[in-house]
Amino acid sequence: MTELRETEAATAAKVAAIELRGVVKSFQSHGETVTAVRGVDLTIAEGEFFSLLGPSGCGKTTTMRMIAGFDEPTEGQIILHGGDVVGVPPNRRDVNMVFQSYALFPHMSVFENVAFGLRRKNTPKDEVTRRVGEMLEIVDLAGREKRRPRELSGGQQQRVALARALVNRPRALLLDEPLGALDLKLRQAMQVELKRIQREVGITFVYVTHDQGEALTMSDRIAVMNEGVIEQLGPPRQVYERPATAFVAGFIGTSNVLSGTVARADGDTAVIEPGPGERILIPGAAAEAGGTVELTVRPEKIAIGLHPPDGEACALRGTVTEVVYLGTFTNYTVRTSTGAEVVVFVQNASSADDVAASGDTVWLSWEPRHSYAIGA
Amino acid sequence: MTTMTQAGPAVRARRGRHGWGDRLLYAYTWLIIVWLCLPIAVMIAFGFNNAKGRLNLTWQGFTFTWYGKLFAVPDLTTALVNSLTIAVLAALGATVLGTLIGLALGRFRFRGQGALNLVQFAAISAPETVMGASLLSFFVQLGVGRGYLTILVSHIMFSLSFVAVTVRARVLTLDPFVEEAAQDLGASGWTTFRLVTLPMIFPAVLAGGLLAFALSIDDFIITSFNSGSTLTFPLWIWGAQKNGLPPQVNVMGTLIFLAGVLLAVGNAVLARRRR
Ligand SMILES: Nc1ncnc2c1ncn2[C@@H]1O[C@H](COP(=O)(O)OP(=O)(O)OP(=O)(O)O)[C@@H](O)[C@H]1O
Ligand SMILES: [Mg+2]
């Protein structure tokens, strides 16, 4: 905790690695204006592992391309390490990009591909050999120096692309879905490897991914994008547990979105009472009695039982509509008295039978601190 | 000399089963090869003909004489040198200009792109007599004396489109992000072109260049309109054939053909090694 504060303080004092101010990007295509990015503000600290997460077509690649210098923003400013870079060509920006399509040089060997950036900076020959060798060792491609890209598997090509960018030790590395083509095992190994490299070399990573699990485990902070805007920006835990919008709640993990009319407000806790014995407490919701409030609860925070819970927990009655056994978890879908469908994950801790079967009337309960008002 | 070999991917034959279809295809293939080679074989053979008198049309015995007296006909030698130097210069000129046009057409969208594409194909498909005649009136209008230079200019002009079309087709298959990656890694525009773009399109540039060379050394119609008093190899042969062609013509033809075969084989070997 103290360590976290220290890094935060240190970050605040330093110049931001990457800063986007009111960045808008429109394309002209077939006589129409397509706005891919509509007003993005971002500050990424030096050495931070920053992820851009969002559905296909939300503007992640476009944002990256503007930082790297392949596209110029229609509006707004891009500041790299304190200097405005709008108009500066890509070869004079101290960032490197790992392309979604790898973009390896097909006519060069693996070694020449990785050495390309170093040679452009007139690095001495023996240093090139040494650094390329080290880098290929790291990405587990030692011994394949002489191969051409087309003689490698998709995953190997992706690792060459990574090595080709990393070997230059740029101040910031932009990675556009760099692990997309890898199988699960290699993907996890590379995640650990990337994280290690990032920590060791201390470079800023801007990481684009579709995979929320990857974003959650690797990032210091995540920006969730949708249709060209950032819907939420924060540390993984915050984005996961306290989604700011219904979109974020739906996009990250499985989330239950409930809504109701506020019956009363106890201090800063709003209370919904859908039926007899049922109550939903939402701490920190700035809602008044009579207003409507939307909230989310994560499926793994909800307990399922045949009797109403005791004490101050949130309680909701419903009928089980589906039970899916998933190994470590059992996944229940429950239609609540309010009509909403709620998903509940119950860990299969013991070999006991399922808590409930399809058609049973059950009680759902969770601690009030797990209810989050959306947009609060 | 129109020997253009496209080293395409090797077709893997079905092994083991040799049905009627396979045998027919095999026979047909060899029939075509023999048919295509027959006139060339005749040309090569009559280079060794011990011809007496003016006509070299009947077989009169084997000799190496004409290889020894290759440059014994001075006008013919001049014509051959003209043809070869024009072909090399025209191929170089057409390759440089055509590559630039092909790159622009394949990579960018610009005003007049559609028109350029259209004119290019028009230049390829226009009858040579029309092109030759219009070039002639163009040169006459400008008051340019016909000769070596006008032949060179017209050869560059008509073979440029072939290079541009070949290069454009190649550019369209390239991943544009590869060039961006080079820039991202610190390469300037020129370095990117030299180290990344050019090597990637090089097979097409080479093919286009060889095509331009072959078209130029071959050309008769357009050249005859714009040659003035300068003679090229085909023009000299055309002029001389009424009085009978010396066997040196066959020998030169044989040598040009051999050079073409060597180029084609070299190209195929290179392509295989690159694969
Ligand atoms: N050069 C372009 N011309 C026209 N439209 C474009 C161009 N580049 C991107 N777009 C549009 O901008 C939007 C955002 O594209 P972008 O590539 O940034 O998405 P993305 O978030 O990277 O998606 P994915 O996850 O599928 O890679 C899309 O609707 C796309 O069609
Ligand atoms: Mg993308």
Task: Assign 3-state DSSP to chain A and report helix, strand, coil percentages, each to 5.
Answer: 30, 35, 35
Residue A59 C-alpha, separation from nearest chain B C-alpha, in angstroms? 17
Within 8 A of A104 by CB-CB distance, chain B residues are: 178, 181
pTM above 0.90, yes or no: no
Distance from CA of A105 to the nearest CA of B (A): 6
Q: Do A105 and B186 touch (CB under 8 A)?
A: no
Query: B183, A89: Cβ pair inside 8 Å?
Result: yes
Nearest Cα of chain A lies from the Cα of B6 at a distance, in angstroms, of 19
Which homologous superfamily is B74-175+207-245 in? MetI-like (1.10.3720.10)
DSSP string, A105-132: -TTS-HHHHHHHHHHHTT--HHHHHHHH
Each residue of B180-206: pLDDT tens digit? 999 999 999 899 999 999 999 998 999
CA B195 to ligand 1 centroid distance, Å: 29
- Which of A68, A104, A121 shows the shortest C-beta gap to B184? A68
Domain ranges, ordered by start, for chain B:
74-175+207-245
pLDDT band of residue B225 (cuts 50, 70, 90) is very high
The segment with the largest mean pLDDT, out of A160-169, A319-328, B84-93, is: B84-93
Full 3-state SS string of A26-73? EEEECCEEEEEEEEEEEEECCCCEEEEECCCCCCHHHHHHHHHCCCCC
Q: Do A117 and B185 touch (CB under 8 A)?
A: yes
CA-A29 nearest atom, ligand 1: 4
Q: Which amino acid residue places its CA nearest to atom 17 of ligand 1? A: A61
Strands (E), A212-340: 221-226, 229-234, 256-266, 269-272, 280-283, 292-297, 303-305, 314-325, 329-336
Confirm if A236 and A219 have CB atoms less than 8 A apart.
yes
Would you say residue B1 has pLDDT above 80? no
Indicate yes or no: CB of B185 within 8 angstroms of CB of A68. Answer: no
As a three-state string, the secondary structure of B9-25 is CCCCCCCCCCCHHHHHH
Local structure of residue B145 (DSSP, 8 states) = P
CA–CA separation, A14 and A9 (whole Å): 9
Cα A125 to Cα A130, A131, A164, B67, distances in angstroms? 9, 10, 16, 53
Single out the residue of B115, B106, B108, B112 nearest to residue B164, CA to CA.
B106
For chain A, list the domains and their CATH numbers. Answer: 14-249 (3.40.50.300), 257-373 (2.40.50.140)
Q: Is A61 in the pocket of ligand 1 (CB under 6 A)?
A: yes
CB–CB of A315/A279 below 8 Å?
Answer: yes
**Alpha-carbon separation of residue A163 from A344, B85, B219 (angstroms):** 42, 48, 52
**Contact by Cβ (8 Å): A222, A53:** yes
Q: Are B132 and B221 in contact (CB under 8 A)?
A: yes
- Say how far apart CA B247 and CA B99 lie, in whole Å: 39
Identity of the amino acid at B140: V
Integer CA distances (angstroms), B210 to A308, B1, B207, in order: 86, 11, 5
- Tell me which of A4-13, A61-70, A300-309, B91-100 is least confident: A4-13
The predicted pLDDT at position A178 comes to 86
Other Cβ atoms less than 10 A from the Cβ of A370: the count is: 18
- Residue with the smallest CA separation from ligand 1 atom 8 is A62
Q: Are A36 and A16 in contact (CB under 8 A)?
A: no
The protein residue whose alpha carbon is closest to atom 5 in ligand 1 is: A27
* CB of A209 shorter than 6 A to ligand 1: no
Which residue's entry shows tokens 């490897």? A193
Using a CB-CB cut-off of 8 Å, the residues of chain B touching A99 are 177, 180-181
- Whether B196 has its CB under 8 Å from any CB of chain A: the answer is yes
Q: Which pLDDT score is estimated for B274? A: 65
Q: In chain B, what residues touch A103 (CB-CB under 8 Å)?
A: 175, 177-178, 180-181
Please, what is the average pLDDT of chain A? 86
Question: How remote is the CA of residue A66 from the centroid of ligand 1, in Å?
Answer: 12
Q: Do A117 and B200 touch (CB under 8 A)?
A: no
Is B183's Cβ below 8 Å from some Cβ in A? Answer: yes
Q: Do B185 and A120 touch (CB under 8 A)?
A: yes
Whether residue B187 and residue A120 make contact (CB cut-off 8 A), yes or no, is: yes
Q: Which residue of A has its CA nearest to B202?
A: A107
pLDDT score, position A2: 41
User: ipTM, 2 decimals?
Assistant: 0.76
C-alpha distances in angstroms, A83 versus A20, A88, A89, A121, A165? 12, 10, 14, 21, 22
Structure confidence by residue, pLDDT tens digits, A84-113: 998 899 988 989 999 988 899 999 999 999
Give the pLDDT mean for A69-77: 92
